[in-house]
């Protein structure tokens, strides 16, 4: 369970090129991307990331189709490095959603009216406490609760902090068995 | 693949093409868990792999199947020379890939290799993109390979590490969708226009969570290049993957290619490939139909690929949009693009024309543009870049004299790479520059900070270069 303050980003189709422009993808590390987050948009002093009222926010509340476009996991790393723990939006790009789950940034799908209500409340009260409860799969503010969907398996992985590769390697015998039965006409690169 | 249950009662009889390919790759299925899916081909490039190789190294793991893993250098490479990469950060990233591939035994096509090129162009060229395979890459446009009837989709870097280590992925079984394109594409339109028409119709999230099968006479009559363009853009309307059932066009493309099966293996493969069709009576979770006869040359006016209209049209008025999110997005997009509602698209001037990318950087695309440019000149003040999708495309174009056509027209003939599709190398737009581009994304700053992108087909790109404004070949004198 995480309780923090939230930042409104009332824009739709926030593609991963906006979250991290390509110029920052030349780095070979997976941390240190906070300076790249929304790099073009934050050049505008009025952009919400520059608004001291939302400093320290750990939850981002965005419009539909958040994280569409490029598969760059750097987008998740940048959000996480900035300090976000969850993104709330009516919908997410598929690859972004998977990447977020890989890295422990919770993608929370909320109905459009809930997001609109949060934007309005946050405009009036930037320090509004928002709770994202992974165990109960709920978002709560004072007096209001919204359930959100999350696959059991993803929830379990996040709660246990499990390493995906190690989990899969528990089934190494099944992988080897599958490999033995692959047809011989399948291509190799060698 | 996002929020779906793995085990589900399905309506209808028989299975769809996406389901057949999926089912054939399930290593392990368990209630309440995503399926463990075997990956037949893993493509790798320099941008999304360094952190994945690090993950492997830190855990002391090896690449499980180097023989199913192929790497190339494409995003960062210069296109004006095959000499060393000047930008030190780009160079470091490419050198990191070289070191990783050398250490872990992965085949790599380096800048200057005859087989180097955009990852999604070379897979098909080498005959590795085959029907019925699962193909992944840390790149959203991996959907391109679905043109062959493969299940091909983009993954993140954590998943790249997972595939390197295990040759599998954990994925929830996706929903299926059929997009049936009836009729015939009118003369002057291409698979790119069909793709843009679909994105405009279905919206950027229209295919979310679905693997789509493109079907119908207009799809069947596309060349493999056209099918790749169509499948490539699947991700722009949110689909996880796009597929076209293999047929004689597919087999003719594959036969004789370096990694295509031959002899008895070819016959065995053909038997398998012929089974890769959606069964009569099998039901998709969703269906959409489009009449190809209604497709015209399309162009984007905004900052997402769904913000597209026919070239004959005008820049829309946000006030006419009923959905508030779409309306505010349109207002923002027009401000960014420097466009006013009601402006005829044909009156929009261009500074730069980019022909290339995994969407439209294949030989057929270059031929189409050269056909328009032959005997014509790029308008004064317009810069046109022609970037072949691979070194092999470049060589094939040279063999038929296309560089001479581009040079005579005043366009720049470049080496292979992703180039101005995303501007990770030196090929970028300056702030405020407007570009007619055959690439796949018109996002803010995609081709360079402050750059303005209009997505178009290769013939429209070439005609726009000549006219100095957005134009179709038929708009040109003698067209």
Interchain contact, B444 vs A40, CB within 8 Å? yes
Interchain contact, B441 vs A12, CB within 8 Å? no
Is B13 touching A (CB cutoff 8 A)? no
**Average pLDDT along chain B:** 96
Q: Residue A60 domain-assigned?
A: yes
CA dihedral B78, B81, B87, B91 (to 10 degrees): 80
Identify the closest residue of chain A to B54 by CA–CA distance: A29
Is B246 touching A (CB cutoff 8 A)? no
pLDDT value for B6: 35
- Given a cut of 70, is residue B4 above it in pLDDT? no
pLDDT per residue as tens digits for the range B271-304: 999 999 999 999 999 999 999 999 999 999 999 9
Residues A188 and A120 in one domain: no
DSSP per-residue codes, chain A: -EEE-EEEE--S---HHHHS-GGGGG---SS--GGGTTTTGGGSTTSGGG-GGGTT--EEEE-SSBT-S---THHHHHHHHHT--EEEES-B-HHHHHHHHHHT-EEEE--HHHHHHHHHHHHH-TT--EEEETTTTEEEETTEEEE----HHHHHHHHHT--HHHHHHTTHHHHHHHHHTS-TTS----
- Given a cut of 50, is residue B199 above it in pLDDT? yes
Q: Token digits for A40?
A: 């073009």
Interchain contact, A64 vs B41, CB within 8 Å? no
**Alpha carbon distance B326, B331 (integer Å):** 9
**Alpha carbon distance A65, A60 (integer Å):** 14
Residues A63 and A109 in one domain: yes
Q: Using a CB-CB distance cutoff of 8 angstroms, which residues of chain A are in contact with residue B140? A: 69-71, 95
Sign of CA dihedral B335, B338, B344, B345: negative
Average pLDDT over residues A148-162: 95
| Confidence band for B7, pLDDT divided at 50, 70 and 90 | very low
Identify the closest residue of chain B to A29 by CA–CA distance: B51
Identify the closest residue of chain B to A63 by CA–CA distance: B325
Domain that holds residue A179: 162-190
Interchain contact, A183 vs B268, CB within 8 Å? yes
Residues A133 and A169 in one domain: no
| Confidence band for B325, pLDDT divided at 50, 70 and 90 | confident
pTM (whole model) above 0.90: yes
Average pLDDT over residues A97-121: 97
- Given a cut of 60, is residue B11 above it in pLDDT? no
Residues A175 and A134 in one domain: no
Q: Residue A156 domain-assigned?
A: no
Q: Which residue has the tokens 């093409």?
A: B17
Is residue B127 a contact partner of residue A57, using CB atoms and an 8 Å limit? Answer: no
Average pLDDT over residues B349-355: 98
Residues A6 and A83 in one domain: yes
Residues A79 and A110 in one domain: yes
Cβ under 8 Å to A: B residues 278-307: 304
Cβ under 8 Å to A: B residues 343-402: none
Q: Which residue has the tokens 């476009």?
A: A69
Interchain contact, A99 vs B32, CB within 8 Å? no
Nearest to A188 among B28, B67, B138 (CB): B67
Q: Residue A157 domain-assigned?
A: no
Domain count, chain A: 2
pLDDT per residue as tens digits for the range B79-108: 999 988 999 999 999 999 999 999 999 999
Average pLDDT over residues B164-169: 98
Residues A101 and A176 in one domain: no
Nearest to A99 among B92, B139, B156 (CB): B156
Interchain contact, B54 vs A30, CB within 8 Å? yes
**Alpha carbon distance B337, A127 (integer Å):** 35
pLDDT value for B10: 52
Identify the closest residue of chain B to A28 by CA–CA distance: B50
ipTM: 0.97
Q: Which residue has the tokens 């229209």?
A: B206
Is residue A75 a contact partner of residue A22, using CB atoms and an 8 Å limit? Answer: no
Identify the closest residue of chain A to B425 by CA–CA distance: A23
Residues A141 and A177 in one domain: no
């Amino acid at each position: 369970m995480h309780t923090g303050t939230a930042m409104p980003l009332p824009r739709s189709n926030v593609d991963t090129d906006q979250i991290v422009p390509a110029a920052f993808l030349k780095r070979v590390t997976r941390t240190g991307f906070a300076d790249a987050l929304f790099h073009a948009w934050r050049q505008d002093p009025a952009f919400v990331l520059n608004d001291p009222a939302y400093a320290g926010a750990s939850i981002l509340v965005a419009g539909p189709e958040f994280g569409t476009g490029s598969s760059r996991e750097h987008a998740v790393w940048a959000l996480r490095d900035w300090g976000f723990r969850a993104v709330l939006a009516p919908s997410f790009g598929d690859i972004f959603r998977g990447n977020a789950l890989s890295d422990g940034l919770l993608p929370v799908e909320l109905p459009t009216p809930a997001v609109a209500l949060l934007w309005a409340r946050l405009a009036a009260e930037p320090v509004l406490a928002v709770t994202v409860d992974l165990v109960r799969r709920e978002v709560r503010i004072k007096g209001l609760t919204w359930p959100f969907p999350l696959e059991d398996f993803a929830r379990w992985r996040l709660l246990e902090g499990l390493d995906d590769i190690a989990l899969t390697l528990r089934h190494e015998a099944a992988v080897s068995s599958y490999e033995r039965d692959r047809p011989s006409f399948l291509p190799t690169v060698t | 693949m996002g929020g779906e249950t793995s085990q589900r009662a399905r309506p209808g009889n028989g299975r769809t093409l996406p389901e057949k390919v999926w089912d054939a790759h399930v290593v392990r299925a368990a209630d309440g868990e995503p399926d463990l899916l075997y990956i037949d081909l893993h493509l790798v490039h320099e941008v999304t792999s360094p952190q994945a190789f690090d993950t492997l190294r830190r855990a002391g793991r090896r690449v499980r199947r180097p023989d199913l893993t192929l790497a190339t250098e494409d995003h960062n490479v210069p296109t004006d020379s095959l000499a060393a990469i000047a930008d030190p950060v780009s160079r470091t990233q490419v050198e990191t890939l070289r070191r990783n591939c050398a250490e872990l035994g992965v085949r790599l096509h380096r800048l200057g290799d005859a087989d180097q090129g955009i990852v999604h162009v070379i897979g098909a060229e080498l005959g590795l993109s085959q029907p019925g395979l699962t193909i992944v890459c840390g790149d959203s446009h991996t959907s391109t390979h679905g043109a062959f009837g493969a299940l091909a989709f983009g993954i993140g870097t954590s998943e790249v590490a997972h595939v390197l280590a295990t040759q599998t992925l954990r994925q929830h079984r996706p929903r299926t969708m059929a997009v049936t394109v009836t009729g015939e594409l009118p003369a002057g339109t291409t698979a790119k226009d069909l793709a843009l028409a679909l994105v405009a119709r279905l919206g950027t999230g229209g295919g979310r969570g679905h693997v789509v099968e493109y079907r119908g006479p207009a799809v069947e009559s596309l060349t493999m290049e056209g099918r790749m363009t169509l499948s490539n853009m699947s991700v722009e309307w949110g689909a996880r993957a796009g597929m076209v059932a293999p047929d004689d066009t597919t087999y003719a493309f594959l036969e004789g290619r370096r990694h295509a099966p031959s002899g008895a293996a070819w016959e065995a493969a053909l038997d398998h490939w012929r089974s890769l069709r959606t069964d009569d009576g099998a039901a998709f979770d969703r269906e959409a139909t489009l009449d190809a006869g209604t497709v015209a040359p399309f162009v984007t006016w905004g900052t997402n690929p769904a913000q597209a209209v026919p070239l004959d049209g005008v820049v829309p008025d946000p006030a006419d949009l009923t959905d508030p999110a779409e309306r505010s997005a349109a207002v923002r997009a027009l401000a960014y693009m420097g466009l006013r509602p009601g402006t005829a698209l044909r009156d929009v001037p261009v500074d730069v024309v980019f022909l290339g990318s995994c969407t439209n950087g294949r030989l057929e695309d270059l031929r189409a543009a050269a056909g328009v440019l032959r005997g014509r000149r790029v308008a004064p003040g317009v810069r046109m870049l022609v970037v072949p999708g691979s070194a092999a495309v470049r060589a094939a174009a040279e063999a038929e004299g296309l560089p001479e056509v581009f040079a005579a027209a005043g366009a720049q003939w470049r080496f292979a790479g992703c180039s101005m599709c995303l501007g990770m190398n030196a090929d970028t737009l300056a702030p405020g520059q407007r570009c007619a581009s055959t690439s796949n994304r018109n996002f803010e700053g995609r081709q360079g900070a402050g750059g303005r992108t209009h997505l178009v087909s290769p013939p429209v790109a070439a005609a726009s270069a000549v006219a100095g404004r957005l134009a179709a070949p038929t708009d040109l004198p003698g067209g």
